Structure 1
Amino acid sequence: MSFFATAEHEMERLKYFASPEGRDDLYQYNQKERRTVLEVLEDFPSVQMPLEWLIQLVPMLKTRAFSISSSQSAHPNQVHLTVNVVSWTTPYKRKKKGLCSSWLAALDPCEAVSIPVWFQKGSLPTPSPSLPLILIGPGTGCAPFRGFIEERAMQSKTNSTAPIMFFFGCRNEDADFLYKDLWLTHSQNNGVLSEANGGGFYVAFSRDQPEKVYVQHKMAEHSRRIWNLLAEGAAVYIAGSSTKMPEDVTSAFEKIVSKENEVSKDDAVRWIRALEKCGKYHIEAWS
């Protein structure tokens, strides 16, 4: 870029960034701040880069993968997504937003927009109506399970279906209780999430009280019912953030198996591993 800079001070700065001495400062300026090509060009306005060079410099946009959060039976010819608008503050206190999520959020739902879409097989297999389910989906991890639950609700209208236990978590009930009415509707009046049908809906609000409460705490409260469903052949589905959640939830399952089945911790770990090997323990996590 220094070759195309006409301002002397900008040229010198760019040359410094490209030198061994400027490597650390370049990292602080660019990678750590996650600056885009456009932001760099705005910081160095004298750079007059030919279009063919710019095209080679700018990377192609990466495709975004989202879990489908709707049932084809409940919503024919539609695909619903559950998207969190990504936002963060850089080390230098600059406000940043995710490119795709913020663009989607800014769309007018009353206007038609053409978006290229590719469908591919996900990591969570579609369960049969006769398979009991234990679903763990905090935050936007609930996305695929909205489709699961809608589908089973449609199936239950004409056939008998197995129960579903669903553990959902969010920070605050008033701020981010996603699909609240949907879950509560299906957990009442013999719905597919009702305890009367052998299932249940349990939610952890992590910030609504002094001590933090997560889905694994709610799981511990219902350990006997979880074990009973596991003993009946239930499959486990976990979806959400790839930070600590999958590991913490797996640890919670191991503790439940150890306690309720009266086996050692090592035996409980092996029990969960066996569940995974037979295709009944699934995790879909993202960063």
Structure 2
Amino acid sequence: MSRTPAPYGRRGRQSAANTGIRPTASTYGKAKVGTYSEKASGHLNVESDAERFVAHLLAIDPRVRAFQPQPFCVDLIDQRMLFTKEAMREAWRKHRDVQGPKFYTVDFRIDWLDGLRHAVEVKAEGFEGDDVYWDKVARARPILDANGYPLRTLVLPANTAHPIRMNARALKQATHQVRTYLTDELAERVTRRCADGPVTVRTLCSDLDLLPGLIPVLLVSGVLGGNLAHHTICGTLELSLAYGDLSHLCLLEGVEK
């Protein structure tokens, strides 16, 4: 009988290519958080659940034309914007002996339909950062303003039952389901039922024999509207005809600090 152990389950040996040290990923050990939005040119990776939450809000907001995560860096020493990796490398070499914060990277750039732009700082409630960090942000703010990127701060609510936090993901998912589930016949039935005034989700679904999962589709398509900033999408949410208006999807201000 062979004394050679079976390869299955055998512990791998170290080699010149494998020193036993876990290679660090490009995210420095943090798992990538992904999402998708046509406004961000498809798939995008962000660094936290808070940033994904904001990406969802930007994706559904009808005022947003495009957005991009970590689009540029602010050189706090030379007080200028750095838009390329090469510019960042050169600035890093130039300032390598300077003490204290030297750079600030915004979390998102927003391009609005009206032609204006904003930079966005994203935080999670309860983890907003210390005074040293916000001093760096304060130094970057006038540089961003001077370059046409006023800075806004958006905060992921700590309460997982917060209406905007609850609604954001459902609405974001619904944007990808409109073509599949929204039909002229469905829109006409809903319009007739709601013509006399507001109705709750529970009543509408009962009267028209609708699945509750269709409600976000009707909201993001502008068939229906509701107070999504202060009420979760559930049976008691009051709905009314939106006639194509999408202002109920403008939820950024509800989490702005």
Which TM bucket (shorter chain)? under 0.3
More strand by percentage? 2
Q: Which has the higher contact order (CA 8 A, sep 6+)?
A: 2
Q: Under a length normalisation based on structure 1, what TM-score does the superposition of the two structures give?
A: 0.24
